[in-house]
Amino acid sequence: MSYLSEEGADLPTPDENASMKILIGPENVSKALLDTSVVVASYDIGDNMRGLIGVVGPTRMDYASVTARLSYFAEGMARMFGKKDLPSKKEDQKT
C-alpha cells in the first residue's frame, strides 16, 4: 500500500456531479491497485474546496456497507470542516 503515500499518485476522484466513485480491479489506473477495489467519497469543506475519503479493499467486498459507511463519514467530515464553531461535547450532551 505504499502506492497510496506516493506523491503524485493517480488516485481516483468522484466526478463533480457525483459524491462517490467505485473502481473494481482493472478499472483502477494504477497497476498496484489492479487486484483491489477502491471506493472514494468526496465532501465539501467550503470555499470551493473538497476533501476525499476512501477505502481500498478486496474486489469481493460488501459494497453496500462500504458505500453507506463512507457516505456517513463524508457527511461528518463535511459538517466538521464546514463549520468554524463546533459545539463542545458537553454542549452536545445538553441538547
Instruction: Specify the pTM.
Output: 0.72
Q: Residue 69, SS3? A: helix
**Residues constituting the chain:** 95
pLDDT at 83: 59
Per-residue pLDDT at 93:
45
Residue 32: the pLDDT is 84
Domains in the chain with CATH codes? 2-83 (3.30.450.40)
**Can you name the residues that pair with 20 across neighbouring β-strands?**
41
52's grid cell: 476525499
For the chain of 95 residues, list the mean pLDDT of each consecutive stretch of 10. 60 73 90 91 85 92 96 91 55 45
Contact indicator for 74, 42 with CB cutoff of 8 Å: yes
Contacts of 74 (CB under 8 A, 6+ apart): 19, 41, 42, 43, 51, 53
- pLDDT attached to residue 10: 66
Q: 3-state DSSP call for residue 34?
A: coil
Instruction: Specify whether the CB–CB gap between 52 and 36 falls below 8 A.
Output: no
Q: What is the pLDDT of residue 19?
A: 84
